Amino acid sequence: MLGEDILDPYGGAFKVTKGMSSRWPERVLTTPISEAAFTGIAAGMALRGARPVIEIMFGDFITLAFDQIANHITKFSMMYNGGVECPVVIRAPMGGGRGYGPTHSQSLEKHFIGIPGLNVAPISRFHDLDSFYSHFILKESRPTLIIENKKMYGQEYIGTVTEHRIFNVDLKGGPIPSVLLTPVSTGKADVCLISYSGGGDIAIDAAEELLMEHEIHTSVLILGSLSPLPLTVLEEAITDVSQVVVVEEGSRVSGIGAEIAAALMEQCFHKLRAPIQRITSGDGIIPCAADKEARFLPGPKSVIDQVLRMPGVS
């Protein structure tokens, strides 16, 4: 485990590694402030058979490691024709809602879903933490970028459940499943909201209000993988619904929603009954001030308004 300020007693900016350096002092290494350097070090360790995990203190800083990820970590295996593996796991806290401002609140995962050879996996409150992390750290041969929405650090963990509020919860696909929530009464939905990580909470709040206030049966799919996209799971989730909305915290253009919409059009155009809609953050920088930030980032209200504007939802 490598990263900045991850040793005890501080235990990392979000305390994810707290206690680890006391228990395994030789395996938890704090680094100078150079994402490029410690990501490169992790690449070398992985090439020699280690299973390194690196922590990007704030996901925004991953731009400093972009060269290592795009030109090295993800290239080695293919450049050496499978002769080497480079299974680095990169953990990156993304997302806003905390008043951290323009350079500590972004959701930059969209810049990584198009890099061949890289898994991009967002953890949610519904995923089993143990199997999620152990899969990527111990079993994957490809490098992985794990997206942790930083709001989740302060929230209660839900884990694997069969019911949540007014929804049935099902795990779909694998090895890392996506989570499908459907209204408990019918199990059927007229609108499907697709999201991941912290965006799932926005979608669930919106789906609950749409059902309770407007009687619009809405399901929520919380993706377990952004790259590769679980296309079979996506197709199943949108089958028989009138409207599909992708909810993401990142910016709009060339975002996760754009990729999902394009993939679904290629895969199952005939199943779509209306254009796929995207709910994203605004076009600009994320403000520090709480009220301005709340208006800038997507929330349940923006999802509900979008669904109510759409024709043909009954």
Partner 1 sequence: MIEVRLEQLDANSEYSVLVKWNYSDLAAVSLDDMICMVETSKAVVDILSPASGFLVQGLAEGDALVTGDLIAVVAESEEEARTIQKELRSQDKKRKKSAQAAHDAEENPASTALNITKKAKDLLNANNISPDVFKGMALVTERDVKEYITKNTKLAPSAPIVPSGKTNRVLIVTARVGGMQVLDILLNDPSVSVVGFVDDDPELSDSQVWDVPVLGTFKEIESLWKRDLFDSAIIGFSSNIETRKELFERCVSLGIPMANAIDPSVRINRACSLGQGNIICSHVHIGFGSVLGNNNFIGANSSIDHDNKMGDHILMGPNCVTSGRVEVGNEVRFGTGIFVQPQLTIGAGSIISSGSVLTSSVPANHVVKVNYSQRMGPK
**Site for partner 1, rule CB under 8 A:** 14-15, 98-100, 150, 153-156, 166, 183-186, 188, 211-215, 217, 312-314
Pick 16 or 64: Cβ nearer partner 1: 16
Write the DSSP assignment of 54-78 as a string of letters: EE-SSGGGGGGGHHIIIIIITTHHH
Pick 177 or 183: Cβ nearer partner 1: 183
Closest to 304 in 3D by CA, of 199, 194, 206: 206
Minimum CB–partner distance for residue 158 and partner 1 (Å)? 14
36, 67 in Cβ contact below 8 A?
Answer: yes
Minimum CB–partner distance for residue 212 and partner 1 (Å)? 5
Minimum CB–partner distance for residue 13 and partner 1 (Å)? 9
Minimum CB–partner distance for residue 9 and partner 1 (Å)? 9
Pick 215 or 291: Cβ nearer partner 1: 215
Could you give the CA distance from residue 176 to residue 272 in angstroms, rounded to a whole number? 26
Minimum CB–partner distance for residue 267 and partner 1 (Å)? 21
Minimum CB–partner distance for residue 199 and partner 1 (Å)? 17
* CB-neighbour burial class of residue 307 (10 A; exposed 0-12, middle 13-18, buried 19+): buried
SS3 117: coil
Q: Enter the tokens of residue 84.
A: 């080497």
Pick 63 or 168: Cβ nearer partner 1: 168
Pick 142 or 164: Cβ nearer partner 1: 164
Pick 67 or 163: Cβ nearer partner 1: 163
Pick 69 or 123: Cβ nearer partner 1: 123
Write the DSSP assignment of 19-49 as a string of letters: THHHH-TTT-EE--S-HHHHHHHHHHHHHTT
Which is it for strands 144-149 and 167-172: parallel, antiparallel or unpaired? Answer: unpaired
44, 73 in Cβ contact below 8 A?
Answer: no
Minimum CB–partner distance for residue 77 and partner 1 (Å)? 36
123, 226 in Cβ contact below 8 A?
Answer: no
Helix H or strand E encompassing 302 = helix 300-309
Minimum CB–partner distance for residue 235 and partner 1 (Å)? 18
For residue 310, the Cα-to-chain-centroid distance in whole angstroms is 26
Closest to 146 in 3D by CA, of 53, 263, 233: 53
Please, where are the H alpha helices in 138-185? none
Pick 284 or 312: Cβ nearer partner 1: 312
